[in-house]
Amino acid sequence: MKPYRYERAEDISGAISALADEPEGAFLGGGTNIVDLMKLGVSTPDVLVDVRRLMSDDIEETEDGGVRIGAAVPNSDLAADPTIRTRYPALSEALLSGASGQLRNMATTGGNFLQRTRCVYFQDTTTPCNKREPGSGCSALDGYNKNHAILGSSEHCVATHPSDMAVAMAALDAFVVTHGPNGERRIPIEELHRLPGDEPERDTILEHGELITAVELPPMGFSSNSKYRKVRERASYAFALVSVAAAMDVEDGVVRDVRVALGGVAHKPWRATKVEEALRGEPVSEENFRAAAEIELSEAEPLSENSYKVPLARNVMVRTLSDLSGEGR
């Protein structure tokens, strides 16, 4: 592992200025991903600024009826929180379907968003990878790509975002609150992560030295009727091949409102807005769910090894929406 300096700032503004003159520096939260990547030689920071103890680890209800989650809240505490479990069950389920008990105890809410892809080529410094080494090429395009993206990828990168939590957050219309060199901002989850385009090295729109300090879940009456369904290669402790987070407001057999996001299919949590548009105001039925899912997936561009993800994503969406509508029971 490359030598680095370890720093602990007094407060959030101190942490931000500690990285201002350190272009190769990084923040350290729970460390579950960056320490691994440092061992692999994929991440090579000069400085680690430890922010875990600086940030809130509280989960509090806000005045408008939403919930504010401190960025340092461990994944396990967020999953176990009674308010989250009853009002935003998809979020609790997403967290519990990710990683292991040990990792969930270490991983923070803020850090979970910023995990890097588990693309094998990204993690292997002996192979070309545009995300790790811009301009070196994408080994997955014609290589091992069965776990890779089917939506929104580019000729430069076909990696997927690994987080389960972020997919649920996308479906629940969450915002991240950040503090950075240019002040504070509030970013919708949908805008936090980027598609690869010709800059696959950038996972998010965050500036260097910009720190996620909290996450806000807005009040959403029907978020208590939400669900996370994940398909993976083994029953536990594996990344998603495809996952779906959805929330649905049903009245008299009609979809009044709906939120759908997909995991494991793109460089970012994929908000399925076409599904949502197609279903609003429509009667609840498996045929309607299937038709809506197919509209979303009509733009899918599978690679040599992952065309299975198209019907899988469709079926997982149909099943999840059916469950939420009461049709599947």
Least distance from another protein to the Cβ atom of residue 183, Å: 27
Q: Provide the minimum distance between the beta carbon of 68 and another protein in the complex, in angstroms, as a whole number.
A: 22
Please identify, using beta-carbon distances, which residue of 124 and 286 lies nearer to another protein.
Answer: 124
What is the contact surface with another protein in residues (CB under 8 A)?
1-6, 28, 31-32, 35-36, 38-41, 46, 48, 50, 52, 76, 79-80, 85, 89, 92-93, 96-97, 99-103, 105-106, 235-237
Cβ closest to another protein, residue 79 vs residue 292: 79
List Cα–Cα distances, 131 to 64, 96, 127, 137, 163, in angstroms. Answer: 40, 28, 11, 9, 17
Please name which of 199, 215, 193 lies closest in space to residue 268, comparing C-alpha atoms: 193
Nearer to another protein, 126 or 298 (CB): 126
Q: How far apart are CA 204 and CA 193, in angstroms?
A: 4
What H or E segment, with its residue span, contains residue 245? strand 242-251
Could you tell me the smallest distance in angstroms from the CB atom of residue 185 to another protein? Answer: 27
Q: Choose among 133, 152, 110: nearest CA to 264.
A: 152
Of 132, 160, 299, residue with least CA distance to 239: 160
Residues 6+ apart with CB under 8 A from 49: 7, 8, 9, 15, 18, 19, 25, 26, 27, 28
For another protein, which is the closer residue by CB, 44 or 307?
44
Residue 21 — φ and ψ, nearest 5°?
Answer: -100, 20
Q: What gap in Å lies between CA 225 and CA 227, rounded to an integer?
A: 7
Q: Of the two residues 123 and 315, which places its CB atom closer to another protein in the complex? A: 123
CA distance 18 to 143: 40
Q: What is the nearest approach in angstroms of another protein to the Cβ of residue 72?
A: 12
Minimum CB distance to another protein, residue 233 (Å) = 13
Nearer to another protein, 87 or 271 (CB): 87
Instruction: State the minimum distance, in angstroms, from the CB of residue 147 to another protein.
Output: 16
Comparing CB distances to another protein, the nearer of 103 and 195 is 103
CA 141 to CA 29: how far, in whole Å? Answer: 32
Residues β-bridged to residue 270: 262
Q: Is 5 helix (H, G, I), strand (E, B) or coil?
A: strand
Q: Are 182 and 112 in contact (CB under 8 A)?
A: no
CB of 111 to another protein, least distance (A): 12
Minimum distance from CB of 187 to another protein (Å)? 27
End-to-end CA distance of the chain: 52
CB closer to another protein, 5 vs 202 = 5
